[in-house]
Amino acid sequence: MVIVRHCGKVDFLDRLLSVAEYAALGEPDSGFTELVEGRLVTSPSPERRHNKALYAVARQLESQLPDHLEFIQDIDVDLGLVPPGEPGFARRPDLIIALRAAGERSDEEDTMYHADDVVVVVEIVSPGSKRTDYVTKHGEYADAGIPHYWIVDLSEPVSLVACQQAGELGYQDAPAMTGEFAATEPFPVKLDLDRLLS
């Protein structure tokens, strides 16, 4: 049974949801939801450190993105892991770097982003999300074909694990970087990890 709180009303759903049905629910009153195998997963609103770090990542990325890419925070992505109409998967990453044209299409058609619109997905690890970010979402994002996944861990010292698609093997994870993260793929980028919480 799925319990949905929306606009002060509580609804009970006794079935699994497709991505389209999930999208039709709209925004909940508090926190946010994701869809995992047709089941709603509710998360509390992030804490101050999480939001501060997310803003710092976005601020550092802004001037480094090529013109055909843009970043978007806190938006649903249809992972496309099952055919339409079946119990689906929709995640709401902390930040995505996506094709600008996909954002324009999403606005025009009022549709969700699709996994193949996303070049990089970024998750900021919270105390209650460590296993989800390092294991569950790692597998889902790889299965969805998202080329790059960056996991930012705010435990001291702040670190970033860059995961890159490696064909049938899923993601190949680079060692955790501290201090400065630098990459040439999918575009030249440098992030000062020590400044994410300052």
As a three-state string, the secondary structure of the chain is CEEEEECCEEEEECCCCCHHHHHHHCCCCCCEEEEECCEEEEECCCCHHHHHHHHHHHHHHHCCCCCCEEEEECCCEECCCCCCCCCCCEECCCEEEEEHHHHHHHHHHCCCEEHHHEEEEEEEECCCCHHHHHHHHHHHHHHCCCCEEEEEECCCCCEEEEEEECHHHCEEECCCEECEEEECCCCCEEEEHHHCCC
Q: What is the mean pLDDT of the chain?
A: 90
pLDDT tens, residue by residue, 65-91: 999 999 999 999 999 999 999 999 999
| pTM, full prediction | 0.90
Give the whole-angstrom CA distance, residue 162 versus residue 70.
Answer: 19
| Mean pLDDT of the region 105-112 | 88
Max mean pLDDT among 9-13, 40-44, 183-187 falls in 183-187
Residue 48 has pLDDT above 80, yes or no: yes
In terms of Cβ atoms closer than 10 Å to its own Cβ (0-12, 13-18, 19+), residue 8 is: exposed
The residues pairing with 45 across neighbouring beta strands, listed in sequence order, are: none
Q: Is 118 left (phi over 0), alpha (psi -120 to 50) or beta?
A: beta
Domain ranges of the chain: 2-42, 47-195
What does CATH list as the number for 47-195? 3.90.1570.10
Report pLDDT for 8.
Answer: 45
Contact 193, 159 (CB under 8 A): yes
User: In this structure, is the dihedral angle defined by the CA atoms of residues 126, 128, 134 and 138, taken in order, positive or negative?
Assistant: negative
